[in-house]
Structure 1
Amino acid sequence: MSLPYAGEREFFKLVSTHEMTHQFHIQKVAERAASAGMESPIGQFPLWFIEGLAEYYAHNQQMDSETEMFLRDIVLNPNGEIGYDFPRLDEDRPYSYLYTYKYGQAKLVFLSETYGERVIQGVLDQSPRLVGGGRGRGEPREGFMQLLGHVAGDTPAQLNARWSTWARKRVMRTYLDAKQDLPDMTELKLSDELDAFTSSKDGNLLFYRGVERETARAKLVVLDRRDPSSARQIAIDQHPGTESLHPVLRSVMAVGDEAIAWFAQSGDSDVLHVRPLHRRERSPGRSPRVRIDLGLGETRIIRVIRDGLIEAGDPTFSPDGTQLAFYGLDRDGKIDIYTLNLKDADPHVRRLTDDLYSERDLSWGDEGIVYAGDATESGRYNLFRIDPVDGTRTRLTDAPVDQRYPVTLAGGAVVFASDAGGKYDLWFLQNGRIKRVTDFATALSHPGLAPNGLYGVAFYGARFRLFEVQTPALLSVDEQDAIPPGYLATIDKPQPFPDEPIPQNAPAYDPYDVGKNWKVEGGGAAIGGAGVGFAPVGSGGVLFADIMRDRSALINLAIYGSFDLTDALAFYVDKSERLIWGVGAFHTFQQGRDTQFPSARQCFQPATAQNLATACEILYLQREFGVEGLLSYPLSTFSRVDASARLMGVTRSFFDNFAYDRSGFATGNVPANELNAIKGSDPQGELGLSYGWDTTRYGMSGAIGGTSLLVQLGGGDIPTRGYDGLYTYLQADAIHTLRVIGRSRLNLRLATGAAQGSRFGRRFYLSSFDNLRGFRWGDARLLGDGYYVGQAEFQFPLDVLIRFAFFSGLTGVVGFDFGGVVDSNRAVQNYAGRGWTKLHATLKEAWANRTADYVLGVNFGFGPFELRVQFAHGIDVGGIVPEQDSHGNTTWVPNISLHYVYF
């Protein structure tokens, strides 16, 4: 297991303990199962137990203040209309963070406090019962709740009842003691779900980060609260230039009297953006309502990576607005405080601190920069002040709790959030004394300056909300010394970092030691039979990877009724460096079409008794086998270039019915010498170069937005064919996905391809399922050396109205396809004698082969897979109508296929 260290010791301990718990969980149940002669039952554990167990041990076998907050809210403020209801003990919601991780952690604490720690370990010890009783024991397999009940000595129903009672009693104690609830505060209704915010000195200007749950995108919005129509979206992430706004992880915004600033990830680091801002008040007409115009200037971009910083956050303007302070993470994994003079034409950062401890949550006041630091005896965050000129630090508070998110006030006072007592509330610091000023029912954190009091963020009713606490509603309780006298002796003795020597005799990792460092990652097989007599049908594959998963090997085999119809691939990929490379061997097949044999020219002459039976096209089976290589280099998060090469042998043979005359019957006559020129074996080489651009964003049901583009250019040679063996090809495919409302989306696609050169070179055989759904699968009219496709598809959720067992989602589809496939050689023959160039004839034929259809259907979700049941109805647009009934009318064509939703 390998984990990054990003400058915060306690967070690293939390994450590493969480992940190590998973490792021990897997190992322990595997050992218990092996001793019982069984396979590991790890897959039989519900996800809430797996992740809850990891959170339970990561938080020292107890509830942290965040989990307490989430539990209080689900008990006090459930909302069944949105599926936000108290979970049963046996309930598993794999796609929900709260229900899986945090309520899972609460369930583990419940089991420990109610039945004892022995129950948790007992479930692991007796986990073989989840897969049976062992070889020859004949014991029945148990479900997880039956096993838990067996170990705890209660029935599943009793376990559920005790869990519900335990949670309510735990929550009610805090709730009944709380002195404030919703009526004591004013909620500011924002158009987005709040994640973080900062406010101006007068409290009217809000700069906040909102999150779209359905798309997982974060956005930055600035507005004056006096005029909701003044809201301006400043940035939105998951696109080039703003790859991430780091929701949940840290604040990235700062607001001043004359500017706003924010950090956003772009490429390999965070980038600072500064934008001038001017507020202008106006009162339209006789309306008493104030209108605010927000004037925004040009954005200034400052790349802090040039000064060695790869991550930055918690920015704050100096009181005069000319400087900016923030924390930065350098390449050594250290977090420190930096300042930037915005008056400089080319500003560079200045480092204020340089140590192993973490400095976060900066707020710049008249007396210096106040921040939360973990250079404490407990390792928890307490408050410090640092002089921005000489770097002198002063300890402001000392307590074995987290004190975070300070906001400086006039006269050296500070408002901050503390989880003293196991619940976050707002506290006030002045003259060496602190006191609690809020006691909200769920919790209140992240203070800010409001016009008539303080802002605070609370998780209430399944979402984070921004509240204003008016000055008269502020409390004054639990007043105490900011630094208790008993702590003075250890105030300058922060918890040290362990320093252990690196073993010099540690064994080197050998990624090519297959027996020791490789394992099977996945695989499967299916075998069947078809037809009369021996007709092998089957497929299977296995994926191997080294422990670091930098290198992998895939072996895949599929047989379709004959050993001639075999797809086989053995491919090795090395992703240990930025340049990815791979090499492998393959055997595959495809259908080919030849319209360039000499006698085919008679098909374009007037029909006579002599040429009526002449073959116009020959369909053949082409088997390809050889070796191939791949190079792939990412230019950025969203783009890459690939190069590929193939050296192979090609064997062509004929089907039972292979020569088609001008009427489309498989009775065409072909001279033997022309057949011999087609069939046989040839060596072949091919080179390809491609460029990909992809900003597609994915949700649970597939793409929800963004654009992708893939352009491929290649060429090859069949040396035994001389000059006729050279060929080239070009393909382009572009898709744009537009979110309409909720989970509804519109997909637009354009694709085209062209190949020229050898009659045995590259050909395109379109899949009707993915391109022109008015054709049936395998229609020979989809085979050619040129094509164009345009598609529009509207997808909308149906599972809000109807649900089916076994399906994770249900999506309605309304689509439209337009396009055509062309054989350029046939086009030249069709328009012979007109003096047209080959390009002119091909374009004319391509348009004549146009086809269109509309599509109705339903996509059934199977986790990452999707069963598409769609029906296409042809539209007569003056070209080809693929499917007609006996009366010549267009008809429906079924399309049923299985797809991976993230491709």
Structure 2
Amino acid sequence: MRFEGWIAAAIFIAIGVVGTAAPAQGQYFGRNKVRYEDFDFQVLKTAHFDIYFYPGERAAVERAARMAERWYVRLSRLLNHQFDRRQPLILYASHPHFRQTNVLQGTVGPGTGGATEPLRRRIVLPFAGPLAETDHVIGHELVHAFQFDMLRRGASGMPLWFIEGMAEYLSRGPVDALTAMWLRDALENDNLPSLAQLQSPEFFPYRYGHAFFAFIGGTWGDEAIGEILRRAGGMRGASAAVLEYTELSEKELTEAWHETIAAAYEPLRSGTRPPEEHGRLLIGEENAGTVNLAPALSPDGQRIAFLSEKSQFAIEIFVADAETGEVTRKVTETALDPHYESLQFISSAGAWSPEGRRLAFVAVSGGQPLLTLLDTESGEKVRERKFPELGEIANPSWSPDGRFIAFSGIDGGYSDLFMWDLETDSLIRLTEDPYADLQPAWSPDGRRMAFVTDRYTTDLEGLDYGAYRIGLFDPETGSMSPAPSLDTGKAIDPHWSPDGGSIYFLSDADGITDVYRVELESGRYYRLTHLYTGVTGITGLSPALSVAARSGELAFSAYTAGDYAIYAVDEPGGLERQISDRALAGREPAALPPQDRESSQVASLLRAPATGLPPADTTFAVSDYSAGLGLAYVAPPTVVAGADQFGAFVAGGSTLFFSDMLNHHLLATSLQVSGSFENLTAAVAYQNQEDRLIWGLTAERVPLLFGDLSIETTSVGGEEVLVQRSFLFRQVTYRVVGTAWYPINRSHRLEFSGGYRRIGFDIELDSAVVTAAGEVVSGGSRESSPFDALNLGTASAALVYDNSIFGATSPILGQRYRFEATPIFGSINIVEALGDYRKYFMPVRPFTLAFRVLHFGRYGGDADDDRLNDLYVGFPGLVRGYERGSFSVDECEPTPTDPCPVFNQLFGTRIAVANAEVRFPLFGVLGLGEGYYGAVPLEMAFFGDAGLAWQSDLAGTPSDESAFFLGGDRDPVFSAGAAWRLNLFRYLVLQFDVARAFERDKWVTQLTLLPGF
């Protein structure tokens, strides 16, 4: 390239990137994480922990501090390890508050009960309501902190079954009804994983990892856990560490594990029956999805509401005919509707009004708990009420007179009972204490509520949690009493019989969760189901039972063959057997194999609540939170040495990242040096995300170097000499920019930016004349600045919306749009305008119709300035079939004014693009594999593209550069074809296109790393 060409290229690059202001947080599209609340954090200090909290949860935090210290004593003994620095623990009063945390990057899903980030070993979690559930999560996450501390950098390479399974075992122990249920189901369906298969996403790492470490601890002793963890860090391999410690091959270890599972659970088959022998399959994979939960029968038993992933994109509420199972209405659309952030599907079910027309369900909207009343016949919302004074709510229950809706709610980290008076629109608190109060259910006469509580079995001072029991509450007087209870196991999810004399409930009294009924007057118990797996929802506390309030039909959800299905029982009395008739082969179904373990250090510590527990009257120091920055991460430094035609060089650099403990303030600094100060690259960026409005500042110095070297032979004074010339063109950009990002909700946001940029240029010219003998007879160097520096101010404002559902390779439902204006002023004065609208329909699953219309253009007096790069409409992400590298000289048909019209028609100062696609998962459509995409995340699409590039409409614009709608000769270009997109390693999307470019009359293939638009 000639010297003048280098200069031109440099200016084009300098100017071309000025106008495209990067959106806040680096997102062009994407959903938002909204910080609705301002939390005034304080710090409570214990012996080993710094606990970050805010005043609304202070009482619960005092108990959590004692829990944390007890867990530290337990785990330090089990793993034989001590921390060398204090452990941060960040607590939120409820899950909606937790979802607003800045400590975790990205959005937090409703299934995330807590997290531990490895860089600063911060534990962050919400109070779960019941003390026992919060205590378990603290223990589980503290195991991760021990893992990160013991493994250091090696933790990032550990598989989930190893990390999460160990955390579950050390925090739950060797007896767990839910994990045991998963094992029995896998055994029955011949689907137990081998050690190697534990890494497959087919096997849930929490449950199967838990079972595997229970096997290791029960066979080799719990002291093996810590030793295996140490070896895994040194060997950088989880499986290798396990095999080395056990001195077994993978095949031998797998067989031994499977044998203990079979020995423990095979004998249970003879005493149990599958769910279809208890009731008819009502909601399953054929008419809904593979996850069908929280049944709620209408009072007359004719309809059923339930939660399901029938749409495959989110858990939604559906209504079906309770006789046929035909789905008659989809109640919610949380996957696309930004109004609903969560349906609390793990902990809640819907509730019918007494007349059976309206359905009440809970959700989270705008960071606050929400109760919605919906007319199931018209599909219209009848009423909606937020409860900003509470953290979250669950399990509504309608009073028989229709005036009140009772529900459980979390306030200050504790779970209590509340009631909404529909006539006065007032919230009435029914209970207020640290005990767990859950799942209220009105009696048919409206005089009592049954509810789930641990108040009759738990010692608050000793933090010794008992089993959940059924309580009876009088809303008139506030008095409560225990209902008759079994001696062992939980009792949850109560529902009254139509006559009010009995309560149906779920219990795992013998290790398997089944349906029971208790007669309140006689205290007699009856068992209705006796499943091999169990009646369950997602967790051991999830609602899974429903009884029709007037007609008495019963429905339950069960886990079988890896799916959750709902079964209906028309005559529950026909299933009943008194408890004394049951028999279970003398085994403990909730115990994890091996069941003949002689002792368990883990179980012993879990059964000793006083061990390591600080006294109840312990006083902890509390101080205000100070947002001091600390080093969070150092990017690996780089050092490079080499030589090129300009000589030897040495370059290197590093980047440092700082944050405060809550990630409210982020700071990044970067420095790179290449040879001399003139080539110094430096940047500093600060972001403040303490409030809902996120803002930041960036300052940087960036040099760009272009060079050329020429050697030619010439004659000087009759002597042949070599003339060597080198050009080094340096462009140095100084930039200061401020950005702001305001999320309106999880789909809508406003973005703003403004800044200043100075672009300077200089040239270093070196020359030398060398004789044939190698003697330099002349030479020298000089520097100059060929152009005046460019001084540019920029500003930008954008409205962004994105509720789309992104599949493995492209969006498949919803819509996106971005409208943005960017004025640039100073040495060049223009306004850049962007409009980008995209829509995705799925008229027939799994075929998506995708559409995009886009316009980007420069407007203003300098829009046609020659120093600006023209826009190009032929990029693969715009109009396929016109990529630069696909053109050849043979295609050019020169005219007097244009050497290659077919190529140059793709350039302009303004572009417009329209795209349409039919996209579908190829393997899914062919039925090859499970799930939406089948065996391979490969998408196929048939597309049509159109695009137009043109110059401004200023007077004097040549007709062949002016758009047809402005009276010019420039027409759109079109293409059509097929595309294949493959998701690589869940990280990259590889796209291969075969396009017919109609204006070129040829087929073009192209390979890119681009997701679908």
Shift of 1:357: 2.2
Q: Distance in 2 between matches of 1:790 and 1:535?
A: 50
| 1:814 corresponds to | 942
What SS is found at the alignment partner of 1:92? Answer: helix
Residue 206 of structure 1 aligns to which amino acid in structure 2? I
Task: Specify the SS of the correspondent of 2:506.
Answer: strand
8 A contact 1:304–1:310 mirrored in 2: no
Structure 1 position 631 matched with structure 2 position 740 = yes
Partner of 1:188: 282
- How far, CA to CA, are the matches of 1:535 and 1:795 in structure 2? 52
**Which stretch shifts more, 190-199 or 677-686?**
677-686
Matched, 1:225 2:342: no
2: CA distance, partners of 1:390 / 1:130: 64
Spell out the pairing of 1:710-721 with structure 2 (5 A cutoff): 710-718=818-826, 721=827
Paired amino acid for 1:703: P
CA drift of 1:564 comes to 11
Percent same amino acid at aligned positions?
21
Question: What is the aligned counterpart of 1:549 among 656, 659, 663?
Answer: 663
**Counterpart position of 2:490:** 402
Describe the superposition over 1:629-674 as per-residue Cα deviations: whole angstroms up to 9, x where unpaired: 11111111221111101211134799x9xxxxxxxxxxxxxxxxxx
Q: Which amino acid aligns with 1:311?
A: E
- Aligned match for 1:443, one of 534, 554, 560: 534
1:393 alignment partner in structure 2: 480
Amino acid at match of 1:518: L
Following the alignment from structure 1 to structure 2, what is the Cα–Cα distance between the partners of residues 248 and 207?
15
Note if 1:339 corresponds to 2:419. Answer: yes
Q: Does 1:769 align with 2:883?
A: no
Shift of residue 105 of structure 1?
Answer: 0.7
Residue identity in the other structure for 1:646? G
Q: Residue 360 of structure 2 aligns with which residue?
A: 261
> What do residues 515-545 of structure 1 show as CA deviations (whole Å, max 9, x unaligned)?
xx22217668797999966699999985624
In structure 2, relative to structure 1, the CA distance for the partners of 1:846 and 1:769 (3 Å cut) is farther
* 1:138 aligned partner: none
Tell me how far apart the structure 2 counterparts of residues 88 and 857 of structure 1 sit (CA, whole Å): 38
1:739 to partner: Cα distance? 4.2
**Alignment partners' CA distance in 1, 2:652 and 2:846:** 35
Q: Distance in 1 between matches of 2:917 and 2:643?
A: 36
**What residue is the counterpart of 1:751 in the other structure?**
854
The yes-or-no answer on 1:419 pairing with 2:497 is no
Distance 1:799 1:573, change over 3 A: farther
Aligned to 1:271: 370
Q: Report the residue type matching 2:822 in the other structure.
A: G
Give 1:411 shift: 3.2
Supply the distance in 2 between the matched residues of 1:536 and 1:772 (Cα, whole angstroms): 42
Q: CA deviation at 1:460?
A: 1.0
Cα–Cα, structure 1 residues 272 and 422, in superposed 2: closer, same or farther, change >3 Å?
Answer: same
Whole-angstrom distance in 1 between the partners of 2:905 and 2:651: 28
The DSSP-based 3-state class of the residue aligned with 1:420 is: coil
State the 1:816 CA deviation: 2.3
Is the aligned partner of 1:504 residue 2:621?
Answer: yes
Matched residue, 1:464 = 564
Cα separation, 2, equivalents of 1:792 and 1:531: 48
The alpha-carbon distance between structure 1 residues 702 and 69, as it changes in their structure 2 partners (threshold 3 A), is: farther
Distance 2:309 2:228 in 1: 38
Distance of aligned partners of 1:751 and 1:526 in 2 relative to their CA distance in 1, 3 Å threshold: farther
What is residue 126 of structure 2 aligned with on the other side?
4
Distance 1:633 1:708 in 2: 17
Residues 634, 657 of structure 2: 8 Å contact kept: yes
Give the letter aligned to residue 162 of structure 2. F
Q: Could you tell me the TM-score, scaled by structure 2's length?
A: 0.68
1:206 deviates by: 0.9
* Distance verdict in 2 for CA 1:251–1:522, change over 3 Å: farther
Alignment-derived partner of residue 334 in structure 2: 237
Report if aligned partners of 1:184, 1:473 keep a CA contact under 8 Å in 2.
Answer: no
The residue matched to 1:70 in structure 2 has which SS? Answer: helix
**Aligned match of 2:396:** 315
Structure 2 Cα separation of the partners of residues 762 and 335 of structure 1: 62
Aligned counterpart, 1:641: 750
The CA deviation string for residues 171-190 of structure 1, in whole angstroms up to 9 with x for no partner, is: 21332332565334321145
Whether the 8 Å contact between 1:822 and 1:842 is mirrored in structure 2 is no
Q: Which residue of 1 aligns with 2:252?
A: 158
CA contact (8 A) 1:855 1:872 kept: yes
Q: What displacement does 1:870 show?
A: 2.4
Q: How does 1:276-295 map to 2 (within 5 A)?
A: 276=375, 295=377
Map of 1:327 onto structure 2 = 408
For these two proteins, the number of residue pairs brought into alignment is 763
Give the distance between the partners of 1:870 and 1:302, measured in 2 at CA.
48
**Partner of residue 162 from structure 2, selected from 28, 49, 58:** 49
SS in 2 for 1:321: coil
Q: Take 1:865 and 1:276, find their aligned partners in 2: how far apart are those partners?
A: 43
> 2:483 matched to 1:359?
no
Compared CA separation, residues 769 and 497, structure 1 to 2 (3 A): farther
**How far apart, CA to CA, are the structure 1 residues paired with 2:642 and 2:994?**
31
2:953–2:966 contact (8 Å) kept in structure 1: no
Kept in 1, the 8 Å contact 2:496–2:547? The answer is no
Offset at residue 336 of structure 1 (A): 2.1
| Structure 2 CA distance for aligned equivalents of residues 691 and 551 of structure 1 | 25
Decide whether the 8 Å contact of 2:350 with 2:359 is kept in 1. Answer: no
Distance in 1, Cα, partners of 2:643 & 2:791: 33
Distance 1:230 1:894, change over 3 A: closer
- Aligned to 1:580, which of 694, 697, 710? 694
**What's the CA shift for 1:324?**
1.5
1:650 equivalent among 737, 745, 759: 759
- CA RMSD, Structure 1 to Structure 2 (Å): 4.1
Alignment of 1:614-763 (within 5 A): 624-651=733-760, 679-718=787-826, 721=827, 725-739=828-842, 745-759=848-862
Distance in 1 (CA, whole Å) between partners of 2:281 and 2:972 is 58
Change (3 A) 1:688 1:622: farther
Kindly provide the amino acid, as one letter, of the partner of residue 408 in structure 1: W
Aligned partner of 1:862 among 984, 987, 991? 984
Structure-2 separation of matches of 1:242 and 1:93: 34
Alignment equivalent of 2:239, drawn from 124, 145, 169: 145
Q: Which amino acid aligns with 1:376?
A: Y
Q: Distance in 1 between matches of 2:175 and 2:942?
A: 48
2:896 aligns with: none
Structure 2 residue runs without a partner (length 5+): 1-122, 459-464, 537-543, 582-608, 706-728, 766-783, 886-902, 930-934
Higher relative contact order (CA 8 A, sep 6+): 2
Query: Which residue is 1:602 aligned to?
Result: none
**What SS does the corresponding residue of 1:710 show, helix, strand or coil?**
strand
| Distance in structure 2 (CA, Å) of the matches to 1:436 and 1:20 | 39
Looking at structure 2, the residues matched to 91 and 530 of structure 1 have their Cα atoms a distance apart, in angstroms, of 49
Q: Cα distance, 1:151 vs. partner?
A: 0.8
Q: Secondary structure at the match of 1:370?
A: strand
Tell me if structure 1 keeps the 8 A contact 2:506–2:514.
Answer: yes
Distance in 2 (alpha carbons) for counterparts of 1:762 and 1:256: 70
Distance in 1 between the 2:835 and 2:196 partners?
50
Give 1:611's aligned residue.
none
Please tell me whether the aligned partners of residues 984 and 990 of structure 2 are also in contact (alpha carbons under 8 angstroms). Answer: no
CA distance in 1, matches of 2:802, 2:652: 31
TM-superposition CA deviations, 1:143-186 (whole Å, max 9, x none): 54333122112222110111111222222133233256533432
1:696-728 CA distances to partner (integer Å, 9 max, x unpaired)? 22344453322121111221311xx5xxx4322
Contact in 2 for aligned 1:698/1:705 (Cα 8 Å)? yes
701-710 or 68-77, which deviates more: 701-710
After superposition, the C-alpha distances for 1:206-230 in whole angstroms (9 at most, x for unaligned) are 1111124732x12222233235557
Q: Does 1:871 align with 2:985?
A: no
Answer whether contact 2:457 2:468 (CA < 8 A) is retained.
no
> What whole-Å deviation, never above 9, does each CA across 1:822-863 have from its counterpart, x for those lacking one?
22167742259xxxxx9x968437882411222433323223
Q: Which of the numbers 169, 190, 209 marks the counterpart of 2:307? A: 209
- Give the Cα–Cα distance (whole angstroms) in 1 for the partners of residues 400 and 799 of structure 2: 49
Q: 1:268 to 1:539 in 2, by over 3 A?
A: farther
Deviations 1:293-336 (A, max 9, x none): xx437422232325x23422201111233322112233x23332
Aligned residue in 2 for 1:372: 452
| Structure 1 unaligned blocks of 5 or more | 31-39, 79-84, 132-142, 278-294, 481-493, 592-619, 657-675, 833-837
